[in-house]
Structure 1
């Protein structure tokens, strides 16, 4: 059994490990780096930088509201090292790992490489080198055990009684399926402690030796060893005597081979393994692990003793135990990979969308427009405008020349000021000075301002928006030298920038292709707007204001489908 002082030492280490872990859990949810980017999230689910090319199509469908689930992000690998106590649960008791006579007995060392398959499962490759040794305070019959039965001296010495001992060494390589669920939190964003279980299999190269002679090659004289009993004092006296007897540390004989699968002096056996572990997150790169693992190779000779005679089939198979403490390191570029997914809470993105939507589709507001002119009743100063009549931003029929007769009734749409007032048909009362009378005269560039809004993430113009733009087109046709600035409201993300570009382009394409307005009359600006990110604003260009009528899309791979 392991000495109590080592158990106490492990408990102290656990207490020290909890302090930084819980201190981190109490940190405020804020911008603290790329691994905790948005409101305490482990990563921003809308950021395509974390998505590999193989899953980018799913991410695009999610961003465009064509699929309900975001793509799994690229996440880091975990590389671990560990050391601990290595024991055999069998017929002969393993001894403590550190003794004056035999230092570093019953210890193990290992390394792991782990990769997440999802938020709750991962694969882990583990290598462990272990060595265990021990001896038994209870006597056994020399005639019933090999190789003791082949040494004549032991048939007569001490009444044919011997004390079993062994030294076991192994190299174990296994692939394990690891499961954890405590990262899925419903009441907080992240976890700093991970409880996991694992099961797996692989191969073990192992060797068991026993010591049958002292350093001079003579048989051990067990007659000087006091007989041990179940009483603790008697058992301790026996153990102390055997420890002195076996202190030469020489193991001469290899135990009987059970199979023909050999690797040098080692037997090669399939191994099954399983266990539990507790992992404390010390930071975004390092974690502390405590783990308990059992391995089974289906042999009763791991401790050098078989309960039944040679050739028998013993149901009492030995188990190998490895209790370890280790450090794990997250490996990867934090600008392209999130933490291993067993540290990421998949509920975090869902709850943040509910609290402050950035991607969620919200119901369209119901704004009544009785006359269908594109101006809602709340702001419509002329609520009874006939269908199809171009209106201004106040919902009143356009009156280009300001003569008091709306354009749809005006038989002389551009009446010179000197010819006003006009009659009921909008015709002026001054004599015509020449052939230019009745034609379009100089018109100012006061085309007004307004905004066109879109639904969800779409760049498709609604019928109301088309009516509104038709009114704008009617005004622009009377002022072919005037320009209109069309401005989008782009956010910080790549998706929002591309979406703003798509919407500005949709407005200009409708006016130029459907309403036959020259594209040269537009100034294309997909950034700089304020207000609702789902709206595109337009206004008359200021005197001398210039700008491109078209711009290349900033992120065409994230284009919004109409």
Structure 2
């Protein structure tokens, strides 16, 4: 009998151990405060402020499960198919451990196909009316109710190579209590069974183990299904007028996730009660007149399949479905909450282009550069702007000297025209001559010290030529940002000449957003013969840049 105790305990798990894994989506959002219980909100606040490295444990749902399955008793009488049904409530205390309250109702049956001898003890109980030594075929129907509190351990939700799995394997142990009531089919109506023919068939069979199917059929045809006789029962504690026994339960199972609120479970539960009477029999048959107690106790087994439902508002799934490493792996892959150091990119020459992209790493301080970090050469004469004393030298006047100044040829045929142009005074007697251009870096509207020096020379020329007006021209207008930036830079130049150099505002013509010019340059030219406003309102005030 002892070898039968653990039959089928993990058989179902071994059968399913090769089941396929299903990848399920990511975990909950650790930054969502709505799933954090109030008692853990202080930790959540510290975590969100980057003062504590670990996110608070979220509120998780309860599980309610119903199940039905196959109930058997491993005891002194051979088990026949029985059935049972159960209900449980489960709550996760962590990602691995949870508590479960389990309740069940079961009907287990048994029928020996090998004969046994009625002994003096059983004659006093279920086999009253028989004679000691009579051959009978023991049977029973056991009705049981049990309840237990179990600790459940999830074995595979901590995963290193995927977010989580569509199923989990778990084991459980617990303690509880069981109420049982065993009946025996000992009578055929009001009389005892006459097993003589079946016993003779057993004795005549050369290999009764091979012929047990025929023996079972003969017993089934002979017996009714009344189970009218109370079997022997334990003395002591009772509940609902039936024997009560404390129990130890253990087992394992597998859950398959069907959705966020529904799962399917397959489970095997073993219940050990300190009694040998779950099958109504506890006596050895070696001596019918002086029987001895069997040394082992009966074990009840319930293999089941069930549906589980997750309930609870503003909660995540039960924690045994979540991978506690999910947050850490996702944060490493795509940081959303980690405090990352601000990258520091070296720029040895301070020209605004980092060293890894700078094609001229030793540009002098303050020299204007292009996007590659190379000193700008506006007129392409080979002399960088920071050295060029003639910033825009016409192509026909090149090559230039070391200062970037070219010498333009004077064709004889055009000398007369040149002289006329030299003496021409547009709009009157203004002879202010060429005026410089003002360059800006990046998106700034701030005047550099070099630009201020250039404007000081412009102001002096305007004082020397009081009959002249100056047109201040900014470029680029493909979008609102460029239009406003062009306006801001023209405005900065005029404001400086008015406020710092004391030039009257009505001597300027305000032009911005012009075409065919450098977006980062403001040109100044003789505007005496031109028409235009002296002031213009900002086109997009909300986009204005401050110096």
Which of 321, 338, 342 pairs up with 2:301?
A: 321
Match runs of 1:389-400 below 5 Å = none
Provide the rounded CA distance (Å) in 1 between the counterparts of 2:212 and 2:354. 98
Q: Does the aligned pair in 1 maintain the 2:169–2:255 contact within 8 Å?
A: yes
Which of 329, 334, 338 pairs up with 1:356?
A: 334
Provide the rounded CA distance (Å) in 2 between the counterparts of 1:381 and 1:206. 95
Partner of 1:237: 214
Partner of 1:91: 76
SS in 2 for 1:238: helix
For residues 30-76 of structure 1, the C-alpha deviation after alignment (integer angstroms, 9 at most, x for no partner) is xxxxxxxxxx3122222223222222222222222222211112222
Provide the rounded CA distance (Å) in 2 between the counterparts of 1:235 and 1:377. 91
Provide the rounded CA distance (Å) in 2 between the counterparts of 1:305 and 1:64. 68
| Normalised TM-score (structure 1) | 0.58
Provide the rounded CA distance (Å) in 1 between the counterparts of 2:329 and 2:126. 73
Provide the rounded CA distance (Å) in 2 between the counterparts of 1:55 and 1:74. 10
Match status 1:59 vs 2:33: no
Match runs of 1:140-289 below 5 Å = 140-148=116-124, 153-155=129-131, 159-215=133-189, 217-227=190-200, 228=202, 231-256=208-233, 258-289=234-265
Provide the rounded CA distance (Å) in 1 between the counterparts of 2:118 and 2:461. 133
Provide the rounded CA distance (Å) in 2 between the counterparts of 1:151 and 1:68. 71
Provide the rounded CA distance (Å) in 2 between the counterparts of 1:347 and 1:165. 54
**C-alpha displacement of 1:293:** 0.9
Provide the rounded CA distance (Å) in 2 between the counterparts of 1:322 and 1:313. 26
The runs of 5 or more residues in structure 2 that have no matched partner are 1-7, 368-439, 466-483, 489-495, 501-537
Aligned residues: 384
**C-alpha displacement of 1:377:** 7.6
Partner of 1:125: 101
For residues 403-429 of structure 1, the C-alpha deviation after alignment (integer angstroms, 9 at most, x for no partner) is 8369xxxxxxxx99996579xxxxx99
**C-alpha displacement of 1:88:** 0.3
Q: 1:169 to 1:149 in 2, by over 3 A?
A: closer
SS in 1 for 2:46: helix
For residues 65-117 of structure 1, the C-alpha deviation after alignment (integer angstroms, 9 at most, x for no partner) is 22221111222221111111110001101112xxxxxxxxx100111111111
Provide the rounded CA distance (Å) in 2 between the counterparts of 1:150 and 1:290. 37
Which of 42, 46, 54 pairs up with 2:31?
A: 46
In our comparison, the structure showing a higher alpha carbon Rg is: 2
Partner of 1:404: 452
Please report the RMSD computed on the Cα atoms of aligned residues, expressed in angstroms: 4.3
Q: 1:175 to 1:447 in 2, by over 3 A?
A: farther
Partner of 1:346: 324
Q: 1:48 to 1:282 in 2, by over 3 A?
A: same
Q: Does the aligned pair in 2 maintain the 1:179–1:198 contact within 8 Å?
A: yes
Q: Does the aligned pair in 2 maintain the 1:293–1:321 contact within 8 Å?
A: yes
Q: Does the aligned pair in 2 maintain the 1:113–1:125 contact within 8 Å?
A: yes
Provide the rounded CA distance (Å) in 2 between the counterparts of 1:207 and 1:150. 13
**C-alpha displacement of 1:248:** 3.4
The runs of 5 or more residues in structure 1 that have no matched partner are 1-6, 28-39, 97-105, 386-391, 407-414, 423-427, 431-444, 450-474, 480-540, 547-562
Partner of 1:550: none
SS in 1 for 2:250: strand
Q: 1:447 to 1:353 in 2, by over 3 A?
A: farther
Q: Does the aligned pair in 1 maintain the 2:283–2:291 contact within 8 Å?
A: no
**C-alpha displacement of 1:148:** 5.0
| Normalised TM-score (structure 2) | 0.60
Match status 1:298 vs 2:274: yes
Q: 1:301 to 1:403 in 2, by over 3 A?
A: closer
SS in 2 for 1:88: strand
Provide the rounded CA distance (Å) in 2 between the counterparts of 1:224 and 1:376. 107
For residues 489-531 of structure 1, the C-alpha deviation after alignment (integer angstroms, 9 at most, x for no partner) is xxxxxxxxxxxxxxxxxxxxxxxxxxxxxxxxxxxxxxxxxxx
Partner of 1:460: none
Provide the rounded CA distance (Å) in 1 between the counterparts of 2:260 and 2:45. 28
**C-alpha displacement of 1:315:** 3.1
SS in 2 for 1:75: coil
**C-alpha displacement of 1:364:** 2.9
Provide the rounded CA distance (Å) in 1 between the counterparts of 2:185 and 2:449. 116
Q: Between 258-267 and 305-314, report the one with greater CA deviation.
A: 305-314
Match status 1:366 vs 2:337: no
